Chain A
């Protein structure tokens, strides 16, 4: 951005020429994040994806980002300003940016937009999300095998399909290997509040949970698990630093391959509006190293499940499955369709408690 450091009129003209030339060489990619890049969770992993883009394309790409952008009017303004500054591609990385993204996209037909976790698209707006439930299936299996108290504690953020899907997927696979398993779910109504998440972890442990899963963004539950000498699964990023002995494995959001391929598509001129929902196979859902605490046979089963999900041989939501009220959902041999999964608003049979409405 040479343009911005030149003051006088004559120099400004020179600067324009220089930045014009640069703009042709460089593809400019913008990212907006809902949290600080230092949250070590959701926004942190998106920023890792941005860094991977810089690494992959070096001087031929310029990335800009803005952190802690509130959803709504502020997001719309930030994206507009990014588009005005000459961005070719903008990743908006929170569900709440959906309508603002479409508004801005309508004003800048030549700029491409990628919106994470949404469902509204346009000619220049793609959506992408990850099948985290595939990862939840694997850790559910491990949890079912590892729990000695038969109680798994689950720290949930908000009752939205993404979170409910994760609870169901983990529960189904824990139950499969351990019919006595019980899930205790605590809704904390926040994505990020380390102290509250720590309290929730403590409450669950006090009530007998010896395995903790979380669907919130801070690493606090992992540190509590470490302190209390129980085990837990990391969320969004590898949390081994915070629970060297507690972390069994972690589901990692790996956006890097997707971001690199989309930036490449813009460079090649092959970018098209798509709807991507990737899982373990393309690497969007990855796992941290499995702990030695997991017995060899359980580990082998987990790795087999990962392979089966990768190859498509196994779908985490395979019938027969009933809903919580006992009504039939999936028959033997049936698997859930993406539409139902995307809008999932019910528990499967066996889970206790109600989804807050």
Chain B
């Protein structure tokens, strides 16, 4: 009989090896699924994992796109990971992302058509503030009334979605749009456009912000008192109190940081790749980022890699859909499998498999 035995310390070797093992297992299980669907499993796997990076036809375009897709995921996930470590569950990043985009875009459009270098910085501040304030609702309700933050932050997503539709149809609707929903396109408003910094690389301010966030989070967690409190609050709440952490303040700080970063991600997206506020502006980054945060084991470097891997399955999945005619649903299921395997084999890092003879338990 197989039994699990906790390792004294997490295994370094396994923590490096498990992601590869997981990807391999996903390829096998996913391949079987694609074969059942009547598609060539090898072609499908290759299109998802190899073509976006190395295919002569697509790679020069899709490699930069990896950064564009991964940027917001990483930025949001970094913020979330701080709260998750402290046991503070903000699962409403999607809403904070939407509000950040609305506030940022509204700030930019308020200046239209004036051109000035100050506009984009103001938008960035507005975006971060918007996300932060939206996150303050669950944070303050939690500290003042002990209201469950999982529920409130989640419900706030639905409210944000309604607000988004109202904005796209009302206050922010483009006057030149012939009555159609959607704001002016910020890509066509140079002062408000979060453009690629170097053409063809996919590097825009949002990607830079994501990289900075990774570094800052790393420093915060390893060197700063707040990072220490966060770690402690998650593992030993009582000890954290003795160490001087104020639980209420910690909730507000963690929610604020994650809300602000999600808001920033929304702003960079609306001012850059997306271009405009529309009814369906949000496309699930806030929820996917939760998965990214855990895939990266709440570790900044891990999140960076997990974000890129997630982006790869999106872009490769798109290629597989139209080059091989795979249904979108099969890609969704494939991503689900990848997550299962990544999470499942992760236990090898902390546990050892042992053969036990019966009766020895």
Q: Taking beta carbons and an 8 Å cutoff, which residues of A are in contact with B? A: 1, 3-5, 7, 30, 36, 64-68, 70-74, 76-78, 80-82, 84-85, 95-96, 99-100, 103, 119, 158-161, 189, 342-345, 356-357
A343-B329 contact, Cβ under 8 Å, with A71-B278, A73-B273: no
A161-B180 contact, Cβ under 8 Å, with A36-B328, A84-B57: yes
Given contacts A65-B322, A72-B275, A160-B179, 17 further A-B contacts (CB under 8 A): A3-B57, A4-B51, A5-B42, A30-B322, A36-B328, A67-B327, A68-B328, A71-B278, A77-B65, A77-B318, A81-B58, A82-B322, A84-B57, A160-B169, A161-B179, A189-B165, A342-B179
The answer for the CA separation of A71 and B181 in the assembled complex, in Å, is: 13
B179 with A64: CB separation less than 8 A: no
- Tell me if B90 counts as interface (CB < 8 A to partner A): no
A344-B321 contact, Cβ under 8 Å, with A70-B280, A71-B280, A96-B279: no
- Tell me if B350 counts as interface (CB < 8 A to partner A): no
Closest 7 CB pairs of A and B: A73-B273, A72-B274, A70-B283, A343-B179, A64-B322, A343-B178, A161-B179
Number of interface residues of B (CB under 8 A): 48
Question: B169, B315, B327: which contacts A356 (Cβ < 8 A)?
Answer: B169
Question: A4, A68, A100, A345: which contacts B324 (Cβ < 8 A)?
Answer: A4
- Tell me if B5 counts as interface (CB < 8 A to partner A): no
Smallest beta-carbon distance B274→chain A, Å: 4
Question: A36, A99, A119, A343: which contacts B275 (Cβ < 8 A)?
Answer: A99
- Tell me if B46 counts as interface (CB < 8 A to partner A): yes
A85-B57 contact, Cβ under 8 Å, with A1-B323, A66-B318, A356-B169: yes
Chain B contacts with A in 152-183, Cβ cutoff 8 A? 162, 165-166, 169-170, 178-182
A357 with B170: CB separation less than 8 A: yes
A67-B170 contact, Cβ under 8 Å, with A30-B322, A72-B278, A95-B180: no
Q: Taking beta carbons and an 8 Å cutoff, which residues of B are in contact with A? A: 40, 42-43, 46-47, 51, 57-58, 61-62, 65, 68-69, 162, 165-166, 169-170, 178-182, 185, 187, 269, 272-276, 278-281, 283-284, 315, 318-319, 321-325, 327-329
The answer for the CA separation of A342 and B324 in the assembled complex, in Å, is: 38
5 contacts between A and B (CB under 8 A): A73-B273, A73-B275, A81-B61, A81-B322, A96-B280
Closest to B62 in A: A81
- When distances are taken between beta carbons in the complex, the residues of chain A under 8 Å from B57 are 3, 84-85
What total count of A-B pairs have CB within 8 Å?
Answer: 112
The answer for the CA separation of A70 and B280 in the assembled complex, in Å, is: 7
A73-B279 contact, Cβ under 8 Å, with A81-B61, A85-B58: no
Smallest beta-carbon distance B7→chain A, Å: 39
- When distances are taken between beta carbons in the complex, the residues of chain B under 8 Å from A96 are 182, 278-280
- Name the residue among B280, B284, B325, B329 with the largest chain A CB count within 10 angstroms: B280
The answer for the CA separation of A345 and B170 in the assembled complex, in Å, is: 12
- When distances are taken between beta carbons in the complex, the residues of chain A under 8 Å from B272 are 73
- When distances are taken between beta carbons in the complex, the residues of chain A under 8 Å from B42 are 5
The answer for the CA separation of A80 and B324 in the assembled complex, in Å, is: 17
Smallest beta-carbon distance A37→chain B, Å: 8
Closest to B52 in A: A81
Closest to B272 in A: A73
Smallest beta-carbon distance A2→chain B, Å: 10
A99 with B178: CB separation less than 8 A: no
A4 with B165: CB separation less than 8 A: no
- When distances are taken between beta carbons in the complex, the residues of chain B under 8 Å from A81 are 58, 61-62, 318-319, 322
Closest to A107 in B: B61
Question: A30, A80, A189, A342: which contacts B61 (Cβ < 8 A)?
Answer: A80
- When distances are taken between beta carbons in the complex, the residues of chain A under 8 Å from B321 are 66-67
- When distances are taken between beta carbons in the complex, the residues of chain A under 8 Å from B166 are 356
Smallest beta-carbon distance A357→chain B, Å: 5
A345-B43 contact, Cβ under 8 Å, with A64-B323, A72-B275, A103-B187: no
Smallest beta-carbon distance B83→chain A, Å: 26
The answer for the CA separation of A7 and B166 in the assembled complex, in Å, is: 50
Smallest beta-carbon distance B327→chain A, Å: 7
